[in-house]
Amino acid sequence: MSSEYLLKLLRNGKREDGRGLNEFRKISFKTGIIKKAEGSAVVNFGNTSVIAGVKLDVGEPFSDSPNEGILIVNAEFSPIAAPFFEPGPPDENAIELARIVDRGIRGSNLIDFEKLCIKEGEKVWIVYIDIHTINNDGNLIDVSFLASILALKTTLMPKYEGKIIREEKVDKLPLRNYFPINISTYKAENILFIDPSLKESNLAEACLSICIRDDDKINSVQKIGSGSFSFEEIEKIFNLTKTKAREIRNLLSSSYIS
């Protein structure tokens, strides 16, 4: 399907798969899929599929936050997910995705980092989130973010005795009662649309990626691409983000929103 034909569809408020401009592809998810991880989830938006796993370790806190745990987010774009992904260290796109996920989680105050302190100034829990792409058919940011949140929501903390981390799980990860969602809105010509396929995302000149909490508080904003947004478009995107974030929360089982 040519780029010009896809643009023609967008101009008419349509998509190659029959969706409207503000409609998601089919969303599905499953948690607890990695046995050796403390928490894990796989999320699919259409043909885009991402796995996120959470591992916990004990280490020294940062000097400027001696009584707080640490969050580290990594993303890996596997060559099996797309022909243009190359093996080796994460490229700038993988690093950017990891930073967006990290910033949204921190900005939402989802993790109670003070409760991850074992001994102030000496030992804290380190929360590692590893994101792996299974298949890339567009909108990796939103899919990766949701997979990371679901993995955190289902994370169980191992027992720590002295210098030993036991396999025995003793408690849930200390999380606040939020469920942040990230919604990325893309712009091609003057057309705004969400959840693009890979072909559609390649048409976009810019993307505004917004993380928002249940109370509609915006946690983080990231603009991607060389294009620009008018004030009117930004206002429209903020309102759209609120609506679509609620829609995703409604799709999730209530057992994960706690």
3-state SS string for 115-154: HHEEECCCEEEEEEEEEEEEECCCCHHHHHHHHHHHHHHC
Cβ–Cβ under 8 Å, residues 112 and 54: no
Q: What is the pLDDT of residue 91?
A: 74
Q: What is the pLDDT of residue 96?
A: 94
Mean pLDDT on 44-57? 96
% of residues, the chain, pLDDT over 70: 90
Query: What is the rounded CA–CA span in Å between residue 95 and residue 190?
Result: 29
Mean pLDDT on 156-167? 78
Mean pLDDT on 57-61? 95
Cβ–Cβ under 8 Å, residues 97 and 144: yes
CA atoms within 13 A on the CB side of 72: 12
Instruction: Note the pLDDT tens digit of each residue in 123-140.
Output: 999 999 999 999 999 999
Name 212's bridge partners. Answer: 181, 218
> Alpha carbon of 95 to those of 77, 89, 91, 214: distances in Å?
10, 10, 6, 27
Instruction: Note the pLDDT tens digit of each residue in 78-108.
Output: 766 555 555 656 678 889 999 999 999 999 9
Q: What is the pLDDT of residue 159?
A: 84
Q: Scanning the structure block, which residue is given the tokens 């349509």? A: 14
Mean pLDDT on 234-252? 96
Secondary-structure class of domain 3-256 per CATH:
alpha beta
pLDDT at position 70 over 90: yes
Q: Is 256 helix (H, G, I), strand (E, B) or coil?
A: helix
- To the nearest whole number, what is the mean pLDDT of the chain? 91
pLDDT at position 157 over 50: yes
Position with higher pLDDT, 163 vs 128: 128
Q: What is the pLDDT of residue 165?
A: 72
**CB crowding 220-254: b at 16 or more within 10 Å, else e:** bbbebeeeebeeebbeebbebbbebbeebeeebee
pLDDT at position 253 over 60: yes
Q: What is the pLDDT of residue 83?
A: 56
Token pair listed for 154: 């289902």
Q: What is the pLDDT of residue 256?
A: 54
